[in-house]
Structure 1
């Protein structure tokens, strides 16, 4: 097979491979796409965040995702944050008021926990400041960070706070042992709606929520929280509650990554969470609280650049990037192949010129073989011997076809035979002449 045919065969095989690869990528993209395995500190087992992420991980595992998450449960969210800061995990579920949230990069918002103040039906209180000096009921398990921030801002004394189960709010308010009830929970079904329903049942009348009008000022003082609006009808019910929008503030539970997590991976996690949210909500209502982070850049709790890029439509998915890299490689080959062909043709041209020079030299040596002196014949024979070695080297390297080799070999062998015969003839002629010369001197 000639070098040109070999090159054509190689190009054909590579092109066929590219076509086969394109088909495989289109039909089975997960087979050749990049994969990443990441450890995730999920927080306490049984918590809403842990349940949502566990369901998310199960769904992804079943679908063979490009990003594989390995859960690492912790006893508290604080421990999750510490594991992230210590570099033991790649991602962690962290509260927005935890220092770990500021040291990492936000990828997703898993839920928001807000504080609500509920008043009895006959209450005349119109603002939170009016609660100062009054006894207030606080639900057991109320978020300590939110409670501390609320009481500090309005100057509510800890001595005026009475902890109790939320189910006791109604009797305590009805007996006027407390003036209002404070409870925290997600912006959806949960502790807040349960407390509201319990109070309504005790009074046989609808209680009311107290609007925290200074929520923006609270957040300005404590920027790790967010001012939120509980919109009319958020908690459902018949009639829906609340009957009008109320202002409050909330702490967010965030999925935070290490700062060095590649942008494309953070963007892929964001995409996967958004695309699987609807499926998760069908079996786990708490997943409905998940949402993408704000796209405005924040110096306090920075959002991961990869997440921002994906949400702003500036970053492709890992699969899209893999497809692009694949076709880029094909395009590079398409550009390199002609160059390689040109280089190969130049090499063939160089070899052809070298072959021509050797052939012309053989023609010159034919003239030497016919009329050269004995010394010239010996030199020509040595040169032909070098040519023969050159031929064998090229044959071994695959740079010359066997039929070309045999042609040159026969030509050189015939010429060396001629030289050998000429040398023998010259020797026979010179021998008698030398003998006669010796006799003459005698």
Structure 2
């Protein structure tokens, strides 16, 4: 019985160790599904689709699942609530729990005056500013710029248009200046200038934010951007001269709870396959690594990303080897503790006589008082018990002590039956002695 208990214990530990190893392998190399929160617009869907395709090609067991949200603010909020693993956020709308894995692109912040009458931010007081529909963060950014120039936001009228509505709005003079936030090399500028031409404006003026450096210093989530002459695509070179303006960055972000090895692996994949991502989505042509030395608390970098960029992040194979090493130590310790516990239990548990031994003892005690016709049944039962004990011994399921007791009791039963069948007149003293001993 002791050998059987030890065998079961070893088998249980092997099963437990295998399950733990499978869990670690599944965690490190198994099927992972990461949800990414993106705005529910064509721009957000293209970026998410590009990331999903690249990971499907390079990491077939890593899936990117798109989680559409209303806007960029909702995407950042999904990381704060941990309802998504990843999110595309804008630097001026990142949440408290957004940590950068990679910079996807930088958008220029510019003012375009259709009629060319306005040449600076301070001149916007009392005028109408046009905003593109579906971008609530643009309105907040406009307020921030106006406040820096001491222009009360309430003195500037707002008009929200789609590109399709813009030509008619320009034609009716419903807007004096457009506030646009878009990548410098984006095709959005071509559409914008085409809409202005339809409205009768062939020579719009693009003016710079001349205090961009001061604003960026006050607001670390913003940066300055030099835009060379003719950068924006259109029928005429725009801007007409080199300008300096503000920029915001779109970032692939995760929560601080994401393991460093996973964050580093995502960063590596995005940076090494940025050409493929750009081919899938032109807006991702400006992918770049965040600066690990940037200590700006407003836009923290994930520790896994920082470790990867500085070369201090162990590779995935190293992580796996470490995991297997520690798993082996834990399994070895558990096996040793289990074996020690089993041995201690075997030493301390109360010894109970085997059932076969107890039954043979009952048969032996019952022989003196049994009817002559019942003696054969008692002998047959004793023989059956002996046969069962021999089979158990052969299979390693019985202890040697039990076999000795079974052998002894079977011989006592046979001897008692033999004495009971002897004529009483032949050995009266022996019959009486055997009867007394049985009792």
State TM-score, norm by structure 1.
0.57
Hey, what's the Cα distance between the residues in 2 that align with 1:324 and 1:232?
Answer: 54
Partner of 2:122: 129
Please list the CA deviations of residues 103-149 of structure 1 after superposition, one character each: whole Å capped at 9, or x if unmatched. Answer: 232112233444321124653x4422123233444444452222232
Which sits farther off after the overlay, 192-201 or 210-219?
192-201
Hey, what's the Cα distance between the residues in 2 that align with 1:289 and 1:107?
Answer: 14
Please list the CA deviations of residues 263-301 of structure 1 after superposition, one character each: whole Å capped at 9, or x if unmatched. Answer: 222111011111222112223222224332233232221
Hey, what's the Cα distance between the residues in 1 that align with 2:163 and 2:172?
Answer: 15
CA RMSD of aligned residues (A): 3.7
Q: Compared with structure 1, are the counterparts of its residues 252 and 47 closer, same or farther at alpha carbon in structure 2 (3 Å cutoff)?
A: farther
The alignment covers a number of residue pairs equal to 298
Partner of 1:54: 49
Partner of 2:334: none
Hey, what's the Cα distance between the residues in 1 that align with 2:298 and 2:27?
Answer: 38
Helix, strand or coil: the match of 1:306? helix
Helix, strand or coil: the match of 1:73? strand
The correspondence for 2:109, drawn from 111, 115, 122, is 115
Partner of 1:96: 91
Check if 1:318 corresponds to 2:316. Answer: yes
Say whether the 8 Å CA contact 2:36–2:48 is kept in structure 1. no
Hey, what's the Cα distance between the residues in 1 that align with 2:272 and 2:258?
Answer: 21
CA offset at residue 309 of structure 1? Answer: 2.4
The correspondence for 2:75, drawn from 77, 80, 87, is 80
Helix, strand or coil: the match of 2:288? coil
The correspondence for 2:275, drawn from 275, 278, 283, is 278
Partner of 1:367: none
Hey, what's the Cα distance between the residues in 2 that align with 1:236 and 1:39?
Answer: 36
Hey, what's the Cα distance between the residues in 1 that align with 2:101 and 2:251?
Answer: 7
The correspondence for 2:180, drawn from 183, 193, 202, is 183
Helix, strand or coil: the match of 1:145? helix
CA offset at residue 212 of structure 1? Answer: 0.6
Q: Compared with structure 1, are the counterparts of its residues 164 and 204 closer, same or farther at alpha carbon in structure 2 (3 Å cutoff)?
A: closer
Partner of 2:298: 300
Check if 1:230 corresponds to 2:224. Answer: no
Structure 1 runs of 4+ aligned residues shifted over 6 Å read 30-33
Q: Compared with structure 1, are the counterparts of its residues 174 and 310 closer, same or farther at alpha carbon in structure 2 (3 Å cutoff)?
A: same
Hey, what's the Cα distance between the residues in 2 that align with 1:172 and 1:83?
Answer: 36
Q: Compared with structure 1, are the counterparts of its residues 253 and 283 closer, same or farther at alpha carbon in structure 2 (3 Å cutoff)?
A: closer
Q: Compared with structure 1, are the counterparts of its residues 32 and 160 closer, same or farther at alpha carbon in structure 2 (3 Å cutoff)?
A: closer
Please list the CA deviations of residues 359-390 of structure 1 after superposition, one character each: whole Å capped at 9, or x if unmatched. Answer: xxxxxxxxxxxxxxxxxxxxxxxxxxxxxxxx
Structure 2 unaligned blocks of 5 or more: 1-24, 326-439
CA offset at residue 211 of structure 1? Answer: 0.5
Hey, what's the Cα distance between the residues in 2 that align with 1:89 and 1:280?
Answer: 22
Please list the CA deviations of residues 303-345 of structure 1 after superposition, one character each: whole Å capped at 9, or x if unmatched. Answer: 01221222233435424x358769x97xxxxxxxxxxxxxxxx
Where does 1:5-24 land on structure 2 (aligned, <5 Å)?
none
Please list the CA deviations of residues 139-182 of structure 1 after superposition, one character each: whole Å capped at 9, or x if unmatched. Answer: 44452222232333331545533344445656665776644322
Hey, what's the Cα distance between the residues in 1 that align with 2:307 and 2:231?
Answer: 31
Partner of 2:261: 264
Please list the CA deviations of residues 216-256 of structure 1 after superposition, one character each: whole Å capped at 9, or x if unmatched. Answer: 22233333333333344433456653343322223333222
Q: Compared with structure 1, are the counterparts of its residues 236 and 195 closer, same or farther at alpha carbon in structure 2 (3 Å cutoff)?
A: closer
State TM-score, norm by structure 2.
0.57
Say whether the 8 Å CA contact 1:174–1:203 is kept in structure 2. yes
CA offset at residue 34 of structure 1? Answer: 3.4
Say whether the 8 Å CA contact 1:119–1:208 is kept in structure 2. yes
